[in-house]
Every structure is written in C-alpha cells, then in structure tokens.
Chains A and B, each alone.
Chain A
Amino acid sequence: MLKALIACRTGMGSSMMLKIKVDQVLRENNFEMDVTHDDINAVSTFSGDVLITMADLAPEMKGRVKYVIGIENLMDKNEIKTKLLEVFNSEKK
C-alpha cells in the first residue's frame, strides 16, 4: 500500500483539514493509502511515496518525495480525487 504524508507549514490547521478531506475521498472511492499528517519538516524523515500538501508549497517540495501533490482548494474532493488517481495510475504503469 502507498504511504502518504499530509503536511502543511504548522502541521495544525490546513493539514488537519486536508487529512479529513483526503480520508473522505479514500473511503468513498475505496482507494487504499496509508495516510499520516504532520508539519512540513517531517518531509525530511519521511520514507513513504506520496506527499500531499497545499499548492503553494508543492513546487519547493518536488523531488523530495516520489509523488508530490499540491491541492488548491482543500475542500474540493474532486480535485483531491483527480490528483490521487494520477498517482495510482502512474503506479500501475
């Protein structure tokens, strides 16, 4: 199963909100992913496959984790679903 880290700058507000929405998307679509959340410093010790973060943070995180997903609208489940699907599809190849 893919391991994902959801991270924002403080690890308090946005990452928690994003985790709630990502969990909903995973559940509703029967996607399997092991998800934790933390602040962005946790990236340096993260050994999983996917980083899910805010869109403005994503560019500077590229390359640190195999897949980096930047979400524009934390409440938009379609956006989250589409971006997760891209990861799942790349994994299948």
Chain B
Amino acid sequence: MDEILNEKLIELDVSVKDREDAVRRAGELLRKNEMVSYEYIDCMIKYLDEFGPYIVITKSVAMPHARPEDGALKSGLSLVILKNPVNFGNTQNDPVKYIFGLSAVDNNEHIHTISKLALLLDDEKFMSLLDNVKTKSEIIEYIKEI
C-alpha cells in the first residue's frame, strides 16, 4: 500500500481536554504538513459543533474533516492517538481514541484516501496494533506491508 500516512502526520499518547481539542490536534498535524490552511481547522471545529456525533464513524474512531473549499491544500490523512479517550456524543461508538484527520482537495484523490482508510479500519491486526502501539514507525511499517 502506498503511503497515506507518514511519521510527521502521526502523534501518539496525546492528552486532550475534550473533543474539540482532539479534532484541533488532528487538524494541526495536517496544517504543519502544509496540507490545510488555518481556516480549514476552524471549519473542522465548526462542523464538529454543528454535527457532533456524526464524525465518529465506527467504534473509537473519528474522522473529522471540512470541505475542499474550506482550505484543503493537499489530500491526505493525519492520525492522533489519544492518551485518554474522549466522548464525542455518539452513544454507540464513544469514547473515541483514534482521530483520523482528513483533508480532501477533490473527490477523486479523496476516494483513494478513504478506501485505504476503510481497508485499515477493517483490519483487526491493524486495529490491535493501534491499541498497543509504542512508536510511530510500527504504524508506518505496517501500512507499507499491506
């Protein structure tokens, strides 16, 4: 699998005070890698406030994002793993421990990124790796292998 994540786009053991803080951290990673603008992060938070629970896509996993026109510069993903899971208000899938920040420039590139993410989230080995991960390179190595 080609790279949808690299070490610069991953943060482990992150302490946050609430869901907004968690989403912001995932957005900041995208911004530091010049994939989104500051405005994009604000929009991620805005959608979180408006739609809250809906960005939680499966057990323990949130996928915050904004729209391409909100300041997406390059398509891709970031991953923030929380030290202490936080609630997003999604009764079925809370609490959230893994935040996959998504940047989408256009629909096509975007399908590619999301299909890769779907494969990973479906992969029990990958999910149990995330549960016990110690270093970012373990995640990168695993993604390279599949």
A21 vs B122: C-alpha distance when bound (angstroms): 10
Q: Is residue B90 within 8 Å, beta carbon to beta carbon, of the partner chain?
A: yes
Whether A13 touches B55, Cβ cut-off 8 Å, given contacts A20-B115, A20-B118, is: yes
Q: Chain B residues with Cβ under 8 A from A76's Cβ?
A: 58
List, in ascending order, chain A residues with CB within 8 A of B118's CB. 17, 20-21, 75
A13 and B102 form a contact (CB under 8 A): yes
With a CB–CB cut-off of 8 A, which chain B residues contact A16?
A: 110-111, 114
> Does the CB pair B54–A12 fall under 8 Å?
no
Is the CB–CB distance between A74 and B92 below 8 Å?
no
B90:A13 contact, CB within 8 angstroms: no
Those of A58-79 within 8 Å (CB) of chain B = 72-76
A56 to B65, CA, bound (A): 18
B58 touches A73 (CB 8 A): yes
The answer, among B47, B52, B63, for a CB contact under 8 Å with A17, is B63
Q: Which residues of A contact B (CB under 8 A)?
A: 8-10, 12-14, 16-17, 20-21, 54-57, 72-76
List B residues at the A interface (Cβ < 8 Å).
Answer: 47, 50-55, 57-59, 61, 63, 65-68, 90, 92-93, 102, 104, 110-111, 114-115, 117-118, 121-122
27 contacts between A and B (CB under 8 A): A8-B54, A10-B65, A12-B68, A13-B55, A13-B57, A13-B65, A13-B114, A14-B55, A14-B63, A17-B57, A17-B63, A17-B114, A21-B118, A54-B54, A55-B92, A56-B53, A56-B54, A72-B92, A73-B57, A73-B58, A73-B59, A73-B92, A74-B58, A75-B57, A75-B58, A75-B121, A76-B58
